[in-house]
Structure 1
Amino acid sequence: MPQSPSFGILTAPMQVDYHDILRVWREADTIPEIEHAWLFDHLMPIGGDPDGPILEGWTLLSALAGQTERLRLGLLVTSNRFRPPALLAKIATTVDIISGGRLDFGIGVGSRPSHPLARREYAAHGLPFHDSADATAGFDEALTVIRRLWTESEPFDFAGEHVQLTGAFGNPKPVQRPHPPIVIGGRAKATLRVVAEHADVWNIPGGDIADAISRSALLNSYCAEIGRDPATITRSIFLPVAYDHPDTTRHAITEALEAEFTHIVLGLSDPYPDHVARWVADELIIPNTP
């Protein structure tokens, strides 16, 4: 049976302040057609003024979790390069508790080496930037220990090539059981193999529908290799919103739904117009729902 579509918004926390985002999220929280809301995870702007303001994603998400009641919420997506996985598991658990069990745990390998504005934030914050193969292997280990910390009832040790833990234990556990849904973002082949192993939702960050369809088929093949039903992974896509050309965005949504991408994240550019969440529902979501 086809999965019913769900729609959400993304407000990148750069070149804006807290109250700009809070206004949009509070409005969206009152609009049933908008089911989820997202931030991203960067430490320096990747658009606009490179020295402009940007807020840290998880602390902002925690604040927004306490200011909303209904929306599912998350980061699209957390960079696994920024925080040790056991610490990230604790942060995510805290947000799930604050939100009353509304966290969707979005995570990815981390910034593309080809994006200079993303790359610079590592040097600026004293963070290592390993090559893609190394980062992807560490990503798989990180997800393994995060899930164990969320679910296991006794302390454990973990001796991986990239992650080493002694006496690791997560207490309290997330509200959601067995754990918050895991949303993995990315399109690289190595990432899709991790998606097949760990994800509840796969998000592709972009609006090239032909590429999205091709990558979805590749994910299906990786699921088959490990004996997983590919239908157990919800397909998600990020689509930028064109305020001045809503027909363009409506067409992109229609294409995505026809390609069986049922989890739609609509990216809002700043500055956010007054009542933008209501506009998104009326102009973009309702015309694409039965």
Structure 2
Amino acid sequence: MAPSFGIMTAPSQVDYADVLRVWREADTVPEIEHAWLFDHLMPIFGDPAGPTYEGWTLLSALAAHTRRLRLGVMVTSNRFRPPALLAKIATTVDIVSGGRLDFGIGVGSRPSHPLARREYDAHGLPFHDAAYAVAGLAEACTLIRRLWTEDEPFDFHGTQHRLTGAFGSPKPVQRPHPPILIGGRSSATLRVAAEHADIWNIPGGDIDDVTRRSALLDRYCKDIGRDPANLTRSIHLPVSYDRPGDTRAAIREAIDAGFRHLVLGLPAPYPADVARWTADELIGPSA
């Protein structure tokens, strides 16, 4: 399987016009196959009072302004939205995009991040412990898939979610449903990914740790009788405009470690023609 390359534009500390410019340009660059936003409600870097856009609303706007790119949120915080509502939001984006959504989801922010926890308190959102959050992610994946695929209303009585007469209409364009990307590195999240994900994403960093996490995912897949080769490995790698050689080296390491879905994080401010530069300087020499 040949590597596929995408970009990430964190919708924080930037203007909408800047993100739109980059996505429109990327839509014309064949080497870039997918594009991503993140899911935070307040800044987690830079000026704490700076702008941050809601990811799914922005994604729908960008879907309407592009024609080719696959697109998604890397990754949706399952702590922010009830899963039935999230299923409806994602369906809407899949329809607006003409069937180009990759559905990214994860547990949500770690409380250890110095700026992540405040967005929950500031928006009146509960922040439960990790075990509760991981269980909620598993339930959400089950519910969302059922809402996307089942033709009759159903009741659901889970540990965290109780739905009566749940039904999704319209359905997503993609059948049976948009690909599900689960992001995370904890053992508990990897177990959820083994069961529910089409794509698993991990933030880049220590390549040895990343490789160990991928091997652990292999084991969890085998434990439930799933072929690990059917779960695409994805990695997010930060881009350096000043030292592209370092980024190219990280890309090569990731590909050698078995990662075939590579997301290149573009820091703001975005240079002119940054998508074309990414293809020429990073993707072309690495593909």
What TM-score comes out, normalization by structure 1 length? 0.98
SS at match of 2:173: coil
* Distance apart, 1:196 and its partner CA: 0.3
1:12 maps to which residue? 10
Using the aligned pairs only, state the percent identity. Answer: 77
Listed as ranges, the gaps of 5+ residues in structure 2 are none
AA aligned opposite 1:112: R
Amino acid aligned to 2:257: A
Which of 250, 254, 259 lines up with 1:256 in the alignment?
A: 254
CA distance in structure 2 between the aligned counterparts of 1:145 and 1:194, rounded to whole angstroms? 14
| Counterpart amino acid of residue 226 in structure 1 | I
Shift of 1:127: 0.1
Deviation at 1:160, TM superposition (A): 0.3
Map residues 138-177 of structure 1 onto 2, 5 A cutoff: 138-177=136-175
Matched, 1:21 2:13: no
Q: Identify the match of residue 109 of structure 1 among 99, 107, 110.
A: 107
Cross-structure match for 2:273:
275
Whole-angstrom CA distance in 2 between matches of 1:27 and 1:207: 28
Distance in 2, matches of 1:114 and 1:214, equals 23
- The equivalent residue for 1:230 is 228
Partner residue, 1:220: 218
SS in 2 for 1:63: helix
How many residue pairs match? The answer is: 287
**In the alignment, structure 1 residue 58 sits paired with structure 2 residue 50:** no
Letter aligned with residue 44 of structure 2 = I
- In structure 1, how many angstroms separate the alpha carbons of the residues matched to 2:244 and 2:162? 49
Return the letter of the residue paired with 2:116. Answer: A
User: Which residue is 1:247 aligned to?
Assistant: 245
Structure 1 segments (4+ residues) deviating >2 Å: none
In structure 1, how many angstroms separate the alpha carbons of the residues matched to 2:205 and 2:261? 13
Aligned to 1:125: 123
Cα deviation, residue 277, structure 1: 0.3
Structure 1, unpaired ranges of 5+: none
For the Cα contact (< 8 Å) 1:157–1:167, is it kept in 2?
yes
- Root-mean-square deviation (CA, aligned residues, Å) is 0.5
Correspondence 1:202-213 to 2 at 5 A: 202-213=200-211
The match for 1:31 is 29
